[in-house]
Amino acid sequence: ASAGARVAALGTSPAPVLPQLVREGRYLRMARAFGITAQEQLTCGCHVHVGISSADEAVAVLDRIRPWLAVLLALSANSPFWQGRDTSYASFRYQAWGRWPTAGPTEAFVTVEAYRQTVRQMVGTGTLLDSGMVYFDARLSEHYPTLEIRIADVCLHADDAVLIAALCRALVDTEARSWQAGADVPGQRTEMLRLAAWRASRSGLDDALLDPRSGQPEQAATVAKALLDHVRDALDEAGDTAAVSDLLAEVLARGNGAAFQRSAYGGDGSMSEMIDSAAAATIR
C-alpha cells in the first residue's frame, strides 16, 4: 500500500501483461528449454499440503483422491481472463498450466517404489530439469511430510480458500481410512480424469461436472454436495462439518471467483473497474 499497489487474488492477470522472467540460473534454463510455455506462465495456484504418516499412506491416498480433484478446481476457478480477453473458461490457469509436460492427472501408482521410479524415469529423459518440475495435480512433497494438492486456482475470497483447504484435509483423511480398511483403488482411467478436469476448467460451477461416482454429467451443485457427503465422517471428526457446509453453500449460491470477475466486468466492459472490485473483494 505504501508503494501505491494493491493485491488482487486472481488465478491469471486479467489485463494484458508482459511477464518478466526471474534472471536466475534455473529459470533461465527453463526458459531456454520450454520457450513460450515458460515465458507466458503467469499463473497463481492454490497448493494445499496435508500431513501424512508415511510415504505408503501418501501414495495410497494419492491414488484414491484422483476422481475428486476436478471438483476442487470447479469450486476454486478464478481465472476467466487472459491478456485482456474473456477466454470462455472459468479456469484458464489450468489450461495454461497444462502445457507443462508433467501437468495433469496421473494413473494409480499402487506402491511408493512405482511412484518414485516414475519420477526418476521422467527426470531421466532429460525433458525436465529436475524432480521439482513434476507438476501432477497432486503429488508427494519433496520437502515436507505431506501430500500436496495443486489443482485449485488461487481463490478470490478468503472463505473459499478455507473451504478448499478443509475439503483437501478431509479428502486425505477419508482416503487414508479407505486404504487402511483395504478398499480398492477407484478404477477411473486417466483419460476420464483429464476430461473431468477439462470440464471443470471450462465451466466451473456454471454447467455440469462429471460425477466421480458414475462418470456421468451431473449438475455442479450435485457433484459438489457429493464430495461433501463423501468426506463427511472426516469433517465430523475434525469438527469442520458445519463450517464447511456453510462455506460450500455460500460459494454455490454466489459463484466462484470466475463468476465474480465476469459479473464485475459485464456491466460496461471495464477491465480496470473489475480489477478494482477484485482487489476490494480480496481484502474484504
Give the domains, in start order, of the chain with CATH numbers: 25-282 (3.30.590.20)
- Using CB atoms within 10 Å of the CB of residue 39, give its burial: 0 to 12 exposed, 13 to 18 middle, 19+ buried: middle
Q: Show contacts of 35-38: CB within 8 Å, 24+ apart.
A: 37/99, 37/100
Q: Show contacts of 123-130: CB within 8 Å, 24+ apart.
A: 127/101, 128/101, 128/102, 129/26, 129/29, 129/30, 129/33
How confident is the model at residue 19, as a pLDDT?
Answer: 86
d(CA 189, CA 91): 23
Cell (9 digits) for 185: 483403488
Q: Of the candidates 17, 9, 154, which has an alpha carbon nearest to the alpha carbon of residue 83? A: 17
How confident is the model at residue 267, as a pLDDT?
Answer: 64
- pTM across the whole model: 0.96
Residue-averaged pLDDT of the chain: 96
Q: Of the candidates 256, 270, 56, 36, which has an alpha carbon nearest to the alpha carbon of residue 175? A: 56
How confident is the model at residue 201, as a pLDDT?
Answer: 98
Which parts of the chain sit beneath pLDDT 70? 267
Cell (9 digits) for 216: 456421468
How long is the chain?
284
Residues paired with residue 148 on neighbouring β-strands, in sequence order: 49, 139
How confident is the model at residue 270, as a pLDDT?
Answer: 85
How confident is the model at residue 24, as a pLDDT?
Answer: 85
